[in-house]
Amino acid sequence: MSASRPGISTDDHAAVSAAIQWAIERLREKYPESVKYDDLVSYCWSGHEENAARITFWTFWTKNKHNKISYNAATNTYRFRPQYPIASGADLVDYFRRQKTANALQVKDLKEGWPDADNEIDTMEKEHKILVERNKKDGKARLVWADDPTLYAPLDQEFRDMWLRIALPSPEDTIKELARIGHRSAGQVKDPKKAVTATNLKKARKSRGFKQTNTHMAHLFKDFSNKRAQAGK
């Protein structure tokens, strides 16, 4: 790295926090290898091996570990944990082989654990091991899918040229030919008048008013005031 690592100060929490970031970057550089705790301390504070410094760093390190770091208690080693456990083309092929879906992977996510992925992705695409979608602007790989080289069947240039020389009819010529032999093209209405009538019926049905229900109770809402007047006589 071009920048200098922070100096040690058991009372300087900012320096210890900075050293933790250096340790994480060190693990990222070493991935997929694991790194011993003592090696991390020596890397972050070369020449400062005081016991107090180790204790301070260990305290902050254990409190500030995040989900990008895994720890192996049996070997007392740490390892970077990228989003995908892929650090090479072989890892990518193996990951696709174990994947239950055919989803694509974003190259920017792969670079977290495989920073120099671009060149190998180009090679794997030519070998038909992966399918690649590229950015239109710079041509860089953006998405990758699994591919199977055993399904690739190369053709001689002679057959390619023969295939390209086959002329396909235009849509207009296709419609005319279908009409000539008595067939309708897709989407063509057989009887335009019937189609218009059917459309009008649909509109009429939609414009119908509210349908009255419970007609058997209609007599309950009649006006019987005149009958009450006659009963009082």
Other residues' Cβ atoms within 10 Å of the Cβ of residue 45: 22
- Please tell me the least confidently modeled range out of 13-22, 47-56, 81-90, 170-179: 47-56
Question: Phi and psi of 134, rounded to 5°?
Answer: -115, 155
Confidence of residue 1 (pLDDT cuts 50, 70, 90): very low
31 contact partners, CB below 8 Å, separation of at least 6: 79, 80, 82, 87, 113
Rounded Cα gap, residues 187 and 184, in angstroms: 8
Q: Which amino acid does the sequence have at 21? A: Q
Place of tokens 């067939």: 183
Confidence of residue 64 (pLDDT cuts 50, 70, 90): low
Q: Which two tokens stand for residue 216?
A: 């058997």
93: nearest Cα among 127, 137, 58:
127
User: What does the pLDDT average to over 21-49?
Assistant: 81
Does pLDDT of 223 surpass 80?
no
Q: What is the pLDDT of residues 209-220, one digit of tens each?
A: 556 666 666 666
In eight-state DSSP terms, residue 103 is -
pTM over 0.75: no
Does pLDDT of 120 surpass 80?
yes
Q: Hey, is 20 helix, strand or coil?
A: helix
In whole numbers, what is the pLDDT of the chain averaged over residues? 78
